[in-house]
Chain A
């Protein structure tokens, strides 16, 4: 009996190991955050980081360094929120991720004054029950208010972008 209990403890220790390894002492929000590649990058030794960067063209390596620096210097609350959104996004199936990326890239190309309008519509639709969302997107008002490209962006982001 004692032997069985001891063996069970060993097994449980192995099971809990990965969760332990992923605990982040800085975690503050309700969502438990898993390390993303930037976290792992930050934990690498400087020598290893430089070795990886050396494999890329110098300009590209320089850009990556700068971007990581900007990310690390973000306001902690802002960074936390972003990490949570990214984590939810990265758990989606790859094809859904790709749709979202495509639409977010297109969103970026919209005229500046259109972006908050489109953004607002997406946020509104995401809060609606499905039937209501469909009614709204099929309405004349919606079609008249947004260009075909904007409609597609709104449709896909409200469907797939994680909350």
Chain B
């Protein structure tokens, strides 16, 4: 833990206990608790996998597989780590496997292809002009390509750190490496991303 970095250990600990507790109830046959866990983590798993593989349909399929595995392994579940850590370990494993299979089948070029999978822009109070929309899409494409160009483990680490706000220790458990290795991954990843994205004007 870096000095000076804000954490709310009390709330985090309570969250850990509650999710793990819910999963223990699922282990005992309580399907409703599974529904609660699904409701809570569905979006973050799908979004995490989406940003890793950058195809929405694939992301949802893989996310389904994640929750399917969670459900099917309920009888042997033991809360040895945070529930979210376990969940993201499964998600990362499946997504990285898919990426490796895809890379083997289609070659690296696929990662740089322009995808038709661009997300619909959240429209704010004022509709963006056509020009603004175009600028937005171009920026978005640049961000996607920059992330896609990162080595897989760096990509996964960045996505967990940036979008899931997971701590180094938790990311380390997901990736099965040390905390210092995670710091190194993030250091190199952010260095690369700064070089590619820092020039972008922000509105």
Contact = CB atoms under 8 A, between A and B. Distances in A.
Nearest to A56: B35
B32 interface: yes
Interface residues of A, number: 1
B12 to A, nearest CB: 29
A99 to B, nearest CB: 13
Nearest to A55: B32
A55 B38 CA distance: 14
Interface string B24-44: 000000011001000000000
| Chain B interface size range | under 10
Interface in B1-53: 31-32, 35
Interface in B146-173: none
Contacts of A55: 31-32, 35
Contacts of B31: 55
Contacts of B35: 55
Contacts of B32: 55
A24 to B, nearest CB: 29
A55 B35 CA distance: 9
B115 to A, nearest CB: 19
Interface in A20-72: 55
Nearest to B31: A55
B40 to A, nearest CB: 16
B56 to A, nearest CB: 14
A156 to B, nearest CB: 16
A159 B194 CA distance: 50
Interface string A80-106: 000000000000000000000000000
A20 B110 CA distance: 55
A47 to B, nearest CB: 17
A57 to B, nearest CB: 11
Interface of A: 55
Interface of B: 31-32, 35
3 contacts: A55-B31, A55-B32, A55-B35
Question: 3 closest Cβ contacts across the A-B interface?
Answer: A55-B32, A55-B35, A55-B31
